[in-house]
C-alpha cells in the first residue's frame, strides 16, 4: 500500500535484467514498461488512487505484484494472523475497507470518538487456488518392507 504521489523503490538484486510493466486501470496513472537492469532500482509514484494496480515482469511471467494506491495515510497490512491496527486516527465518521486481490473487498462504517479504541472484524473468503491444467498432486512413494 502506498499513498498517492509517494515514491516506491523497486530493486533488482539479480545479476540479470527484469522489466517493470505497470498495468493501470485509472486514467490518471500511466501505463509504463521500464527496463530494470541488474543491481539497479527504479523509483515510481502514482498520482491517482487505484486498488490492485498490477506490476509485472514480462521477461519472467510468474513475477508480479499489486499495489493499492490511496489518498490518505490511514491504511495497514494485516499480519499473518489477520490482525491490523490503525493508530492516531482523528475522531470522526469513517468508512473502513478491507480488500484482498482474490477475495474482493468489504466495508464497515465506524465512528471514532476521542480516546476510544474500536474493534472491527472483516471476513473475506479467499477462493482455493486453482490447479494448473495437467497438474496433479505429488504422489508419496510407497514404503515397502
The total number of residues shown for the chain amounts to 145
CATH of 1-73, one of 2.60.40.420, 2.30.30.40, 3.40.50.300, 3.40.190.10: 2.60.40.420
pTM (two decimals): 0.73
Listed residue (78, 65, 66, 57) closest to 14, CA to CA: 57
**Which is nearest to 31 in space by CA: 61, 12, 53?**
53
Work out the pLDDT band at 100, boundaries 50, 70, 90: confident
> What does 51-118 look like in DSSP terms, one character per residue?
EEEEEE-SSSTT-EEEEEEESSS------TTS-----SPPSEEEEEEEEETTTEEEEEEEEE-TT---
pLDDT digits (tens, 9 = 90+) for 71-89: 998 988 889 888 888 888 9
CA separation for the pair 20, 55 (Å, rounded): 6
Q: Could you read off the pLDDT of 27-38 as tens digits, one per residue? A: 889 999 999 999
Structural domain boundaries in the chain: 1-73, 75-125
| Predicted confidence band of residue 140 (pLDDT cuts 50, 70, 90) | very low
pLDDT exceeds 60 at position 135: no
Q: Is the pLDDT of residue 99 over 90?
A: no
Residue 145: predicted pLDDT: 45
Amino acid at each position: 500500500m502506498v499513498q498517492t504521489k509517494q515514491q516506491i523503490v523497486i530493486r533488482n538484486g539479480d545479476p540479470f535484467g527484469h522489466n517493470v510493466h505497470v498495468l493501470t486501470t485509472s486514467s490518471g496513472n500511466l501505463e509504463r514498461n521500464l527496463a530494470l537492469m541488474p543491481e539497479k532500482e527504479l523509483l515510481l509514484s502514482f498520482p491517482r488512487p487505484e486498488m490492485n494496480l498490477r506490476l509485472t515482469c514480462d521477461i519472467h511471467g510468474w513475477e508480479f505484484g499489486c499495489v493499492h494506491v490511496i489518498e490518505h495515510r490511514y491504511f495497514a497490512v494485516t499480519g499473518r494472523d489477520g490482525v491490523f491496527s490503525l493508530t492516531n486516527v482523528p475522531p470522526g465518521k469513517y468508512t473502513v475497507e478491507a480488500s484482498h486481490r482474490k477475495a474482493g473487498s468489504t466495508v464497515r462504517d465506524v465512528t471514532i470518538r476521542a480516546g476510544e479504541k474500536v474493534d472491527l472484524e472483516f471476513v473475506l473468503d479467499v477462493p482455493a487456488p486453482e490447479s494448473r491444467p495437467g497438474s496433479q498432486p505429488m504422489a508419496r512413494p510407497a514404503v515397502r518392507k
